[in-house]
Amino acid sequence: MEGEEACEAGHFFRQPRKADCLPISKHPYGYVQRAAYRQPDLHHEEIVELDSPFASVVASGTQVYTFLLLGDQNAGKSTFLHAFCFAQDLNFLELTSYLPILASSFINTRFLTDDTSPPRDELPFLDTDIARGTVLLTLDSFVFFLDEFGLPNEEFPPDTRYVLVQFIEIGGDHLDSLMSADQEGADTSREMRDILDRSAALLTQARKTIYFINAATLFEPSATEYSGTYAINHASLGKLTERLSWLSTVLPASHQILFYLSRVPSGCTLDMRSVMPVVEAADRAAGLLPLALPTEGAPEQQIKLLLDHLKRTHKWRLDVVEVFKSEHLQEATGDDNTARSGGDTNELPLNVDKIVGTLVRLFQQGMQHSKREAEVFTFTHILQCWKSEFLDKQPSFYEDPGSEVHWLHADEFAEYLEGLEFCELPETILLQQWGKVGRRLVDSSLAIERNGETSCFSRFAITCSQAPGGGEVHLHCAQRADSTPSTQRSGAGNYLEMRLFYFAPLMDVLYSYFAKNIPGEFWIDHSDQPTSTSTTATTPSASSSSSSQRLSFLDDPSVRSRLGDAVKAMEERLRSLWQAVVDAPAGPEHERQAVHFLWLVEEWLHAQQMLAPAGDARLTLPSAAGATERIKALFDLLHRLCPQ
């Protein structure tokens, strides 16, 4: 497309259209927009490459700050997230003078099961369900940023070299879907239900949030003789009140929300007289004495007073921190660069001072949702590596007796990372976390560790029994009491070999979140992390960090239902493989069938552990003559073929 080529080239004198720089890709689950930026010179100077002999030893710890953004439709959330990677903008160089960005990214996702509704109703962004923006800085640049704007200095772990600022956006349409999800007649697919469940779970444990209000819909020209005076639109105020009332029931008590008022008309004065009857009626309905509000004033001040008043009336459990104007794009002028479309936000340049001011204010007010290490990014890439490099190449593993199991190790993970077009974090960081994160996957039953040539069921004790007269065969499996968590064993470096699952229905349950670009905050629980009310916080130890990140999405009823379906499908396949083992004559074919059967038993055991950690599991197999001796022979065969 001509516009895309012009965008790539980056015309020096003309502001590009954002829509030309944000192509939309269609996927089975909906639509996606992506953008990325990497500063070549800084990246070369500050990032240790994977092929460097120092890649595995140079300190590359990363502190991640995550901010959670909510708000109305078309309120400027995506504009803010996208600003940090819009390198084609006329003012982007000025932005990098404040923030020497190593790399940044933007992913915007709209979940649609069909094409009946448009993916966007206003250029340039999709109508967001979930979006994510990341900004990577060196630690030195971040500390300089804190000092430059008088923000409190942080205490960082000794190995910290980078800081990643992450923004997660829950769009207005997604917020509406959350509010209506439990209503009778809500049209929600099973997959969308899973996503909504995780979004709701994230909100229930949110530390602090930022809410963007769209003044273009909340305000309307006042019926007065004074130009530039606006009144409150009653319908939009009702919608805002409804959303905040719902959030008050979901967010933790005394939850702090910082509000941003976007798309405020230039020189606007807000006249509150038309809305006073509505406010007074609500006061009377709540049995409260009416409070007087100033009739006119600056929009952000009037909205702050109105929100405080609504909180009192509706008994919200929320704390309104403050209300600021969001002016992240320059106002339209007569200049050709800013007013070619009468102020179309698709073509307005970035307002760098306001963008940096918003970022400063977020840190100043301590609005971080979480502060943690970068392990979740490594989680994501390990699963993506397994799927793309191995599972997709052997989609019918258990239907092909000639298939050989593959064990994933750090060198292969490094090869996968080298092939990525873009990565939110330096690849060396992800590689250095291979051992630590991999062992957490093992301890969470999401991966199988190699112990010798195979794991040989080292975590489980298995007994076999058969009904009298050669009846059904029962395998009883229990986790060994003396089984040591992988993360507590010595030598927990990068010398880990493991595999994930070859049984496609099971892997699909786990991978479905990553395939839809859903941030890790949605599927890892941080509910027991300490809350900090300032930007200075004590750094948790590695052990506490590991224990505080639980794979909470496995607790969702819909996910557990899908896991249960996958387990049933595995049991059917196991019975079929068992019959093949029983029927196959002695020889190489029998050995291959037997080993495949045992590998699938092991995957079945791990799936059972996801459903019931530390619980026992029982598998019933068809009758076979001498079954207990056959099972013992199978394990003897496994140990002979794959010695410890």
Q: Give the pLDDT score at 528.
A: 41
Q: Give the pLDDT score at 193.
A: 80
Check if the beta carbon of residue 624 is closer than 8 Å to that of residue 473: yes
Q: Give the pLDDT score at 298.
A: 86
Lowest mean pLDDT among 259-268, 335-344, 498-507, 581-590: 335-344
Is 575 domain-assigned?
yes
Lowest mean pLDDT among 6-15, 173-182, 316-325, 415-424: 6-15
Q: Give the pLDDT score at 279.
A: 80
Residue type, 41: D
Q: What is the pTM of this model?
A: 0.81
Q: Give the pLDDT score at 55.
A: 52
User: Does 392 score more than 50 pLDDT?
Assistant: yes
Q: Give the pLDDT score at 342.
A: 37
Instruction: Give 406-438 pLDDT, tens digit per residue.
Output: 889 999 999 999 888 778 788 888 888 898 889
- Calculate what percentage of the chain has a pLDDT beyond 90: 34
β-strands 617-621, 473-479 pairing: antiparallel
Residues 337 and 435 in one domain: no
Instruction: Identify whether 124 is preceded by a cis peptide bond (ω within 30 of 0).
Output: yes
Residues 630 and 590 in one domain: yes
Q: Choose the most confident range, by mean pLDDT, from 150-154, 255-259, 413-417.
A: 255-259
Is 9 domain-assigned?
no
Residues 190 and 67 in one domain: yes
The residues near 117 (Cβ < 8 Å, ≥ 6 apart) are none
The residues near 568 (Cβ < 8 Å, ≥ 6 apart) are none
Residue 260: is it exposed, middle or buried by C-beta count within 10 angstroms (0-12/13-18/19+)?
buried
Q: Give the pLDDT score at 264.
A: 92
Q: Give the pLDDT score at 337.
A: 44
Torsion, CA 110, CA 111, CA 114, CA 116, rounded to 10:
-50
Find the domain containing 614 and state its range.
Answer: 375-641
Q: How many domains does the chain have?
A: 2
Q: Which two tokens stand for residue 581?
A: 């083992």
Check if the beta carbon of residue 259 is closer than 8 Å to that of residue 324: yes
Q: How far is CA 403 from CA 390, 393, 406, in A?
A: 11, 11, 9
Residues 95 and 141 in one domain: yes
Check if the beta carbon of residue 312 is closer than 8 Å to that of residue 288: yes
Q: Cα–Cα distance between 548 and 288 in angstroms, integer? A: 43
Is 98 domain-assigned?
yes
Q: Give the pLDDT score at 531.
A: 36
Q: Give the pLDDT score at 527.
A: 44
Three-state secondary structure along 219-288? EEECCCCCCCEEEECHHHHHHHHHHHHHHHHHCCCCEEEEEEEECCCCCCEEECHHHHHHHHHHHHHCCC
More confident residue, 372 or 281: 281
533 band by pLDDT with thresholds 50, 70 and 90: very low
Provide the CA 33 distance to its chain's centre, in angstroms. Answer: 16
User: Does 327 score more than 60 pLDDT?
Assistant: yes
Which of 327, 351, 373 finishes a domain? 373
569 band by pLDDT with thresholds 50, 70 and 90: very high
58 band by pLDDT with thresholds 50, 70 and 90: low
Gap between the terminal Cα atoms of the chain = 58
User: Does 346 score more than 70 pLDDT?
Assistant: yes
Which of 373, 398, 418 finishes a domain? 373
Average pLDDT over residues 356-375: 87
Residues 361 and 504 in one domain: no
CATH classification of the domain holding 26? 3.40.50.300
Which of 373, 396, 421 finishes a domain? 373
